[in-house]
């Protein structure tokens, strides 16, 4: 039996499990099993790669590989188990960056291998047997011609590095280290020029116009810088879209590696994620009603956006926790609109308690989930699931919007832009046209917010000046705890 065939079979199984896993991940009932199936396929592919081949490998190499896997497994497992659910998006971003960096490093090593082979090759130019041996060394399934292989190496390097650097910036933005978009003057033109520059440079290296090992490291550095500059000007509100985009970038980088080695598991896995990630990015953009180019080139979240908004006048009413408790206690129907503020304050458990008390008193309680609530689509659902809020209480936007008219109280907790009526009636607003939750149709609105600061998109909200609206200031957890205490005392 040919060892290569066994390995190919393993990769085939791996590829199939990726497709099946992703497919099962798209149904709530099968999602968890889908993840495990993909995980099984991955483990198989990794073990197969290490142990099933005819090449003679020194024990030191095996040791290094196994130690590296050991370190990665322990570190990855610990981080993933420990992280709070609110920190999820950051974590996905970091893991994504690791994948990108991995792809970039592979390219660097392959480049070095190729230049070594080239020098040996030129020394022994007419020794055909030597040449054949050299080709054998490249690997059994690497039958690509050198130019094509070099193109793949460069593509993997550039895409992987951009994904890595971008993911790190996205991570820093999400955890608040970098909380303001930083824009160099003419950043759009600058970024486009750098991007084209990267292409041209990579092309020159492939074509042999830029000889020498230095150039590849320069290209590596330039790609890293581009990744940083690409994400820096984008506002925090758009980070989920960026992470999803970078996720598909890493997929492409992995696919480049797959192409280079003729490895079909890498190719299918990479392309699958590349295309699925791109579609997911577009779905998210659609939920925010913003074309992808405006996320990348005309990011809001900073000063530029404020210029578009109208001047808002009027008075703001404040409500005390006890008044809010009375109002909700005697309501028939209450809808809760959770936003990222709730997640930041870790208030998902206390909101569930509020829901239970109100239900006990005969109040109908529902949650209205905006498609981009939280920091990623579906993030809010994950958080509420963590607090044991039952599935059927969560309503999606289209479903719940007609219900606001028959609702007595809407409680908005830490959400802002997704309930901003400017999306409907202010064409100058940067969020104009974004589908929102029509909370203003309800009889009373209570907004819990820490202060009057603008939301993540950096724009004013005229909802707060609505006569039906009252503000319950304070950290979501503290304010809701007071509210629950008041309700319990009634």
Among 166, 235, 236, 270, binds other proteins (CB under 8 A): 270
* CB closer to other proteins, 354 vs 397: 397
Of the pair 295, 445, the CB lying nearest other proteins is at: 295
Angstrom distance (rounded) from CA 51 to CA 192: 44
Q: How far is the CB of 386 from other proteins (least distance, A)?
A: 5
* Catalytic position from the list 29, 323, 392, 417: 417
Contact indicator for 240, 376 with CB cutoff of 8 Å: yes
Smaller CB distance to other proteins: residue 394 or 459? 394
418 binds other proteins (CB under 8 A): no
Residues in contact with other proteins, total (CB under 8 A)?
Answer: 121
Does residue number 170 form part of the binding site for other proteins (CB under 8 A)?
no
178 makes contact with other proteins (CB under 8 A):
no
Smallest gap from residue 262 Cβ to other proteins (A): 7
277 makes contact with other proteins (CB under 8 A) = yes
CB of 468 to other proteins, least distance (A): 28
Q: 378-382 long-range CB contacts below 8 Å, 24 or more apart?
A: 379/88, 379/89, 379/240, 379/343, 380/338, 380/339, 380/343, 382/85, 382/88
Scan residues 14-53 and list those touching other proteins (CB under 8 A). Answer: 14, 18-19, 21-23, 25-28, 31-32, 34-36, 38-39, 42, 45-46, 49-50, 53
Q: Considering only residues 104-123, where is the footprint of other proteins by CB under 8 A?
A: 105-106, 108-110, 112-113, 116
Spell out a b/e string for 216-240, using b for 16 or more CB atoms within 10 Å of the CB, else e: beebbebbbebbebbbbbbbbbbbb
Say what the alpha-carbon torsion angle 15, 18, 23, 25 is, to the nearest 10 degrees: 170
* Residue 96 sits in the site that holds other proteins (CB under 8 A): yes
Q: Is 61 in the site for other proteins (CB under 8 A)?
A: yes
Q: Which stretch binds other proteins (CB under 8 A): 60-68, 290-298, 304-312, 423-431?
A: 60-68
| Candidate list 2, 145, 313, 315; residue touching other proteins; CB under 8 A | 145
Under rule CB under 8 A, residue 347 binds other proteins = no
Contact pick of 8, 86, 103, 159 for other proteins (by CB under 8 A): 103
Q: How far is the CB of 437 from other proteins (least distance, A)?
A: 14
Buried b / exposed e across 53-67, counting CB within 10 Å, b at 16+?
eeeeeeeeeeeeeee
Q: Is 179 in the site for other proteins (CB under 8 A)?
A: no
Which has the closest alpha carbon to 365: 403, 325, 393, 346? 393
Residue number, 105 or 182, with CB nearest to other proteins: 105
Binding residue for other proteins, selected from 3, 5, 6, 71, defined by CB under 8 A: 71
Q: How far is the CB of 5 from other proteins (least distance, A)?
A: 16
Residue in 161, 191, 223, 247 binding other proteins, rule: CB under 8 A:
247
What is the distance in angstroms between the CA of the first residue and the CA of the last residue of the chain?
A: 78
Strand partners of residue 366: 335
Q: Show the site string, 368-397: x = touches other proteins by CB under 8 A, - = not.
A: -x-x----xxxx-xx--xx-x-xx--x-x-
The distance of closest approach from Cβ of residue 236 to other proteins in the complex, given in angstroms and rounded to an integer, is 17
Q: Residue 204 Cβ, how far from other proteins at the closest point, in Å?
A: 16
Q: Minimal distance in Å, beta carbon 258 to other proteins?
A: 7
Q: Does 476 help bind other proteins (rule: CB under 8 A)?
A: no
Residues 287-326 that bind other proteins (CB under 8 A): 287
Residue 8 annotated among the catalytic residues of the structure: no
The residue within the footprint of other proteins, chosen from 184, 189, 283, 490 (CB under 8 A), is 283
Catalytic residue ranges: 417
């Amino acid at each position: 039996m040919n060892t290569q065939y066994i390995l190919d079979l393993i990769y085939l199984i791996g590829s199939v499990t990726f497709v099946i896993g992703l497919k099962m991940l798209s149904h709530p009932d099968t999602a968890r099993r889908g993840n495990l199936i993909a995980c099984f396929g991955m483990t198989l592919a990794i073990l197969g790669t290490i142990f099933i081949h005819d090449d003679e490998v020194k024990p030191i190499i095996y040791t290094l590989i196994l130690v590296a896997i050991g370190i990665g497994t322990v570190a990855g497992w610990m981080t993933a188990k420990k992280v709070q659910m609110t920190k999820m998006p950051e974590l996905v971003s970091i893991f994504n960056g690791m994948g990108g960096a991995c792809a970039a490093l592979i390219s660097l090593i392959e480049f070095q291998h190729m230049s070594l082979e080239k020098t040996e090759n030129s020394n022994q130019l007419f020794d055909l047997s030597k040449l054949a041996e050299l080709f054998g060394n490249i690997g059994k399934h690497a039958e690509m011609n050198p130019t094509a292989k070099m193109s793949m190496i460069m593509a993997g390097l550039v895409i992987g590095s951009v994904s890595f650097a971008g993911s790190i910036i996205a991570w820093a933005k999400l955890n608040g280290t970098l909380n303001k978009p930083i824009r160099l003057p003419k950043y759009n033109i600058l970024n486009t020029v750098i991007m084209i520059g990267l292409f041209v440079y990579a092309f020159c290296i492939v074509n042999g116009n830029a000889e020498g090992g230095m150039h590849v490291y320069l290209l590596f550095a330039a790609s890293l810088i581009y990744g940083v500059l690409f994400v820096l000007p984008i506002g925090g509100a758009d980070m989920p879209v960026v992470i999803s985009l970078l996720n598909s970038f890493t997929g492409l980088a992995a696919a480049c590696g797959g192409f280079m080695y003729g490895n079909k598991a890498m190719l299918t896995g990479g392309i699958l994620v590349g295309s699925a990630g791109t579609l997911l990015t577009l779905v998210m953009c659609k939920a925010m009603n913003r074309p992808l180019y405006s996320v990348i080139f005309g990011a809001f979240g900073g000063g530029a956006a404020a210029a578009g908004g109208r001047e808002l006048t009027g008075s703001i009413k404040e409500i005390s926790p006890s008044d809010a408790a009375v109002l909700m206690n005697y309501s028939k129907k209450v809808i809760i609109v959770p936003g990222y503020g709730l997640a930041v304050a870790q208030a998902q458990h206390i909101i569930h308690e509020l829901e239970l008390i109100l239900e006990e008193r005969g109040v109908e309680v529902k949650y209205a989930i905006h498609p981009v609530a939280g920091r990623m689509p579906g993030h809010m659902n994950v958080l509420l699931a963590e607090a044991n809020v039952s599935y059927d209480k969560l309503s999606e936007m289209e479903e719940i919007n007609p219900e606001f008219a028959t609702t007595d109280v809407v409680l908005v907790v830490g959400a802002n832009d997704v309930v901003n009526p400017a999306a409907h009636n202010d064409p100058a607003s940067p969020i104009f046209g974004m589908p929102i939750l029509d909370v203003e149709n309800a009889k009373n609105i209570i907004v819990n917010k820490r202060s009057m600061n603008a939301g993540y998109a950096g724009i004013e909200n005229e909802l707060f000046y609505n006569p039906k609206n009252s503000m319950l200031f304070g950290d979501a957890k503290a304010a809701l705890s007071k509210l629950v205490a008041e309700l319990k005392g009634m």
